[in-house]
Amino acid sequence: MNVPELYGSRVFNDDVMRQKLPKDVYRSLTNTIATGGVIDPAIAGTVATAMKDWAIEKGATHFTHWFQPLSGVTAEKHDAFISPLGDKVIMEFSGKELIKGESDASSFPSGGLRATFEARGYTAWDPASYAFVKDGTLYIPTAFCSYTGEALDTKTPLLRSMDALNVQALSILRLFGDMTTSRVCATVGAEQEYFLVNKAYFDRRKDLSYCGRTLFGAPAPKGQEMEDHYFGPIKPKVAAFMDELDEELWKLGINAKTEHNEAAPAQHELAPIYATTNMAVDQNLIIMEHMRLIAERHGLVCLLHEKPYAGVNGSGKHNNWSLSTDAGKNLVDPGKTPRENTRFLLFLAAIVRAVDEYQDLLRMSVAYPGNDHRLGGFEAPPAIISMFLGEEMEDIVNSIVEERVYEDHKAATMNLGIPSVPTFRKDTTDRNRTSPFAFTGNKFEFRSLGSSQNIAMPNVVINTAVASVLCDMADTLEAAVAGGEDFSAAVAKVIKDTLTAHKRIIYNGNGYSQEWMAEAARRGLSNLRTTVESCEVLTSEKSVELFTRFGVLSSVELHARQEILLENYAKVLNIEAQTMILMASRQIIPAVESYITKLGKAARAKLDIMGDNAACVRMERELMTRLSELNTAAYDAVAALRQADREAMAAGDAHAVAVTFRDKVVPAMASLRAPVDEMETLVSSEDWPLPTYGEIMHKQ
């Protein structure tokens, strides 16, 4: 495999555009991409023709506008390039087809924005995300909106938030005398965790098939207690999957860089190199799709659910976020002397304030049923949003707030005491895996995202919140300078005042501890434990003001998204409840009843031979009694769950339905699971109808 030749070979990227487009068209298009300006419609036809010709060279016969509806997955409608010419056909693709597509908007989640009979919706080309060829089709990344212009996707507000952040960051840079930077862009690297399960086991579990997670399952004798899976040797079957995944991703220009075993058995991780946020979102969706497709070719199934198995680590997605100029300067890189890097400190203060002021929105951005099982589960951050800065940066913050002299942290040398092992410089700060929003040297790692989610909304919130704070800071600094104040003194005051006011969000300790829960409450930090209360934040006065201030999301669009989140919560739990009822009623309860009958026959046979006082006879009777009690409890729990599910579905509006699912259905599901999981430990392996955790996690 020649990786340099393979890399990006299926992407209509800058190199391809330079080769295929006339110079003036290439300059116009790349200038639009670089500056975020308005594309010249006159070049669309030329770009479309070049894109079509290149795609046909790659074996494409169709094209599709690829978009991200509010269903949480991607969508596509394929059209052939063919156009009739008498009795023959020619291959055509026009500028109009490139720029605009049409889809049935009423068939996607809209939160009431579109009635069923109002079907028309539009997809619009996003030139800042590269087109690519996959499976004989040219994929064109697009935004998706209703006939009346409301955003029906995740990409539209993302692009708006990127523009808002660019404008406000540039205003700060101009105040610092930077007149050369023309664009500031948020960059993201999204680490992706996932599980792999043998397809034969997957097919025998309806909960995995319908819900992506196990709804029943007793702990295996060996889980992750030995800590031997993390970074352990990769099994050949898994390695073959990873090799093919790398190859396919590299063809699509995705910088798949790091792969390893994660903490739980059968859990793994892939980490890419950074990309601009809109491209990072597109690429992460492609990564998840390819994980699913390629796993099946290896007799595996990729599980992207946040908590496929109770009692072991769940899967997250670490959103590594930073700010870069078009010249490649990282604005959140502290440099060698961070205490003297005033510009960095101002951006740091802005991010601290943004996280503090909009902590509830950040929590909302990762709220959905799967993540409710994961957050705070000792492999993921707690629901309370806080920031980790590390010892060095926190000391800098304290020195600013307390107006004291800062003593530099000198990087120590790590010497292992082995002459043949080189010494190396030790980082000035450790890492904190329990922090939801951690500074990790030159980026911020938002660790609360769940493994299955589209990363667009968390980045919309981060971008817009930081843009809002930067706007306020720019206004304050401009007013101070206009009033005759020295700029350096004004900046120092803004940094100090901001860090003083928002220092409560900084916490470097153990985010899992009960002491932190109490301390966070004392500080006044929000603790939104479930999706339902998190969703309520989306339409608060503060949220509406934030998003409408920069035109990222309108009030109508925010209310629609809240409706969709609540409806999705109810739908997911309804599917899970119905699946539990199905599995318990048609598989588990009958299997246990048959096993009890089998035990009874065996006990009667032994009774005739050994007598009533035989230990084995007493043991089997005790086992039969316990299983009968548990099976009766499971039968009753099925009836209770069925009733709770009916009540929830009839509760009223979307909010009432979601609340009832949370308060009644979730506890009823737990009540059904408890006796079933105990019965699994008592029934013989030959008679238990489901693959167990031990089989699923340890037999890939």
Task: Give me the pLDDT at residue 377, please.
Answer: 73
Q: Where in the chain is the domain with CATH 3.30.590.10?
A: 162-553
pLDDT for res 118: 67
> Residue 460: what pLDDT?
98
CB count within 10 Å of CB 91 equals 14
Helix axes 615-649, 666-680, angle to 10 degrees: 160
pLDDT of residue 170: 97
Domain 162-553 maps to which CATH number in 3.30.428.10, 3.30.590.10, 2.120.10.10, 3.60.21.10?
A: 3.30.590.10
User: Under CATH, what is the fold of the domain 569-698?
Assistant: Four Helix Bundle (Hemerythrin (Met), subunit A) (1.20.120)
Residues of the chain with CATH 1.20.120.1560: 569-698
Compute the distance between CA of residue 457 and CA of residue 155 in angstroms, rounded to an integer: 9
- DSSP string over 581-628: HHHIIIIIHHHHHHHHHHHHHHHHHHHHHH-TT-HHHHHHHHHHHHHH
pLDDT for residue 620: 77
Task: Give domain 3-153's CATH architecture.
Answer: Roll (3.10)
What residue ranges of the chain are covered by domains with CATH 3.10.20.70?
3-153
| pLDDT attached to residue 34 | 82
pLDDT along the chain (700 residues), means of 10: 91 96 94 82 93 97 96 92 87 94 82 72 93 97 92 95 97 96 96 97 97 96 81 93 97 94 94 95 97 97 97 94 95 87 96 98 96 85 93 89 78 68 65 86 95 97 98 97 94 96 94 92 95 96 97 96 96 98 98 94 68 66 92 98 98 96 98 98 96 93
620-649 exposure pattern, b = at least 16 Cβ within 10 A, e = fewer: beebbeebeebbebbbebbebbbebbeebe
What DSSP designation does 213 have? S
Burial of residue 512, with CB atoms counted within 10 A of its CB: 0-12 exposed, 13-18 middle, 19 or more buried: middle
- pLDDT at position 380: 86
Give this prediction's pTM.
0.94
- pLDDT confidence of residue 700: 85
Torsion angle of the four alpha carbons 341, 350, 185, 153, in this order, in degrees rounded to the nearest 10: 170
